[in-house]
């Protein structure tokens, strides 16, 4: 999918206005690299001192919700509250969701939304940031981690900025590579409203990286229609009537244009994440994506940097995550934020979750990808 000009909804607060929601939490409108307004909320660390922090900094967790979610949805608030026992937490609403502007590209340009949220977390003074994504958000954190790397130079950051913002691509190719494909008429240019890259924006692109990544209930490949919920979701995002249902029934505004080009699929992104620690969490009762999706992700990842948890009885994304699972995820993320060199082998599994019976490893897909993921619940 490609995105046009941002469509801010009328009740949204003005750009750049910071609002205090209670004694500790702060709300702020962020602007993505392509100019979309994103609502975000920051909550400071509220848990007991563990003695394992870095110079008193507990780090931050940025929570990326699933399709149809938003930062004020009960399941997102419950997860955020659980994570504050382990680190400071930033929640936000993806474009087209909640009070954020724009229209959803169902996982493509949403990496720019996540990058803005990560950069804001660092602006609060946190040196280390973990991203935790659910369902669609899980695919976004994987592609974000592959695209935004701490070691990128300013020149490389400028190249990423040009390829992502000006050419509408979030697949990690350089501007020269993107330009070569445009030369043969593969895709139109990005909207003229996009501003030119600056040294500040390039530096922000290079700095918006994650120090640890957790993907919960994430798809491995695009265009998956193997379950009834996914077939319904494809209708909701690809059919005009389905988009009306999404807008007024699910309060999610979906862009009408198809992806062009198709973004890098998650299974092709995960090999690029190492040495950043990666945790893949999935349930054997997930109604959207069967276990071949997490197995494919873990198989494609660096075995020294990835860990896989297959949880018996767990369903899909933040709506199905209970307090115990959220606490375990928060503990894993906080441990990596304080000691990012501790990287388990992906063959190790959640000790409380034996491998699902009858599951077999999946295969990395070909170039066919998707913008689809399950509704978060």
User: In the structure, what pLDDT confidence band is assigned to residue 234 with cuts at 50, 70 and 90?
Assistant: confident
- Give the model's pLDDT for residue 346: 40
Residue ranges of E strands in 146-222: 212-216
pLDDT at residue 162 is higher than 70: no
Distance CA 313, CA 327 (A): 17
pLDDT at residue 292 is higher than 60: yes
Distance CA 360, CA 354 (A): 14
Region 250-258 average pLDDT: 85
Contact predicate 71/98, CB 8 Å: yes
CA distances from 198 to 32, 111, 207, 330 (A): 14, 19, 14, 36
In the chain, the percentage of residues whose pLDDT exceeds 70 is 67
pLDDT digits (tens, 9 = 90+) for 15-57: 444 444 455 889 999 999 999 999 999 999 987 644 444 458 8
In the chain, the percentage of residues whose pLDDT exceeds 90 is 56
pTM: 0.76
Q: How many CB atoms lie within 10 A of CB 225?
A: 12
pLDDT digits (tens, 9 = 90+) for 120-145: 999 999 999 999 999 999 999 999 99
pLDDT at residue 12 is higher than 80: no
Contact predicate 273/284, CB 8 Å: no
Residue 176, judged by CB atoms within 10 A of its CB (0-12, 13-18, 19+), counts as: exposed
- Give the model's pLDDT for residue 196: 36
pLDDT digits (tens, 9 = 90+) for 296-331: 999 999 999 999 999 999 999 999 999 999 999 999
């Amino acid at each position: 999918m490609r995105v046009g000009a941002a469509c801010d909804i009328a009740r949204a607060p003005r750009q750049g206005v910071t609002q205090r929601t209670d004694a500790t939490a702060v709300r702020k409108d962020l602007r993505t690299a392509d100019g979309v307004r994103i609502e975000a909320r920051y909550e400071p660390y509220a848990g007991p001192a563990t003695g394992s922090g870095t110079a008193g900094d507990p780090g931050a967790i940025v929570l990326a919700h699933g399709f149809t979610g938003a930062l004020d949805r009960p399941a997102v608030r419950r997860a955020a509250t659980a994570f504050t026992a382990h680190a400071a937490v930033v929640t936000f609403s993806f474009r087209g969701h909640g009070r954020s502007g724009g229209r959803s590209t169902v996982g493509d340009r949403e990496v720019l939304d996540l990058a803005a949220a990560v950069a804001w977390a660092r602006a609060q003074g946190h040196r280390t940031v973990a991203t935790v994504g659910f369902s669609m958000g899980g695919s976004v954190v994987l592609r974000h981690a592959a695209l935004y790397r701490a070691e990128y130079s300013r020149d490389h950051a400028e190249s990423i900025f040009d390829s992502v913002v000006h050419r509408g691509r979030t697949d990690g190719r350089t501007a020269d590579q993107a330009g070569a494909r445009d030369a043969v008429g593969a895709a139109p240019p990005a909207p003229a409203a996009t501003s030119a890259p600056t040294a500040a924006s390039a530096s922000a692109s290079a700095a918006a990286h994650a120090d640890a990544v957790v993907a919960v209930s994430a798809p491995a490949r695009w265009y998956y229609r193997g379950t009834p919920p996914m077939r319904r979701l494809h209708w909701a995002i690809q059919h005009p009537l389905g988009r009306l249902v999404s807008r007024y029934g699910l309060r999610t505004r979906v862009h009408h244009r198809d992806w062009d080009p198709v973004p890098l699929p998650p299974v092709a992104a995960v090999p690029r994440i190492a040495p950043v620690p990666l945790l893949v969490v999935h349930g054997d009762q997930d109604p959207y994506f069967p276990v071949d999706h997490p197995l494919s992700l873990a198989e494609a990842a660096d075995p020294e940097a990835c860990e896989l948890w297959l949880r018996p009885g767990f369903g899909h994304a933040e709506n199905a995550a209970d307090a115990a699972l959220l606490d375990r995820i928060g503990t894993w993320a906080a441990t990596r934020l304080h000691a990012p060199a501790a990287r388990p082998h992906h063959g190790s599994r959640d000790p409380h979750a034996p491998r699902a019976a009858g599951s077999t490893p999946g295969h990395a897909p070909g170039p066919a990808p998707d913008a689809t993921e399950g509704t978060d619940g």
